[in-house]
Structure 1
Amino acid sequence: MSNDLHITTEAAKLAPPAVVSALHWGGMTPSSWVTVLTLLYLALQLGLLVPKYVEAIRTWWHRRPGGDA
């Protein structure tokens, strides 16, 4: 059991450098990594914010004078 935990821990430590090496070998420079991570972060933020804004607009629309509700 302890050996399995040790292997998992060491694999987790190795994963980030292995990913960076694979991306560099694939032709991605550090500036490309920053661009990809920034776009991923932006997509995640939009995915979280858009539903909130849609719900806020629907609530406002139904509460205004002459709204559907």
Structure 2
Amino acid sequence: MSHPYEITTESVKAAPPAIVSLLHMGGMTPADWVTVLTLLYLALQIGLLLPRYLKRIRHYLEERRRES
């Protein structure tokens, strides 16, 4: 195995605990981060689904107008 590959592998293994430790020292507990990430996830889901639903609503309304 090459030396840079080993360094990369070990860095990736150590990153999650190191990030949690740094964030905890920064004043945010893991529970706070779970809340923030959950809200971010919800916002992304809403942002991705909203255009799709608006398109479906417009299509439905156009079809309804054509029928009448």
Query: What's the TM-score once normalised by structure 2's chain length?
Result: 0.83
Q: Which has the higher helix share?
A: 2
SS in 2 for 1:28: coil
- Which runs of 5 or more structure 2 residues have no equivalent in the other structure? none
SS in 1 for 2:12: helix
- Which runs of 5 or more structure 1 residues have no equivalent in the other structure? none
Q: Which 4+ runs in 1 deviate beyond 3 A?
A: none
Instruction: Summarize the alignment of residues 1-69 of structure 1 with structure 2, pairs less than 5 Å apart.
Output: 2-66=2-66
**What root-mean-square deviation, in Å, do the aligned CA atoms of Structure 1 and Structure 2 show?**
1.8
- The answer to which structure, 1 or 2, has the higher relative contact order (CA under 8 A, 6+ apart) is 2
User: 1:21: how far off?
Assistant: 0.6
Q: Percent identity?
A: 61
Distance 1:3 1:62 in 2: 62
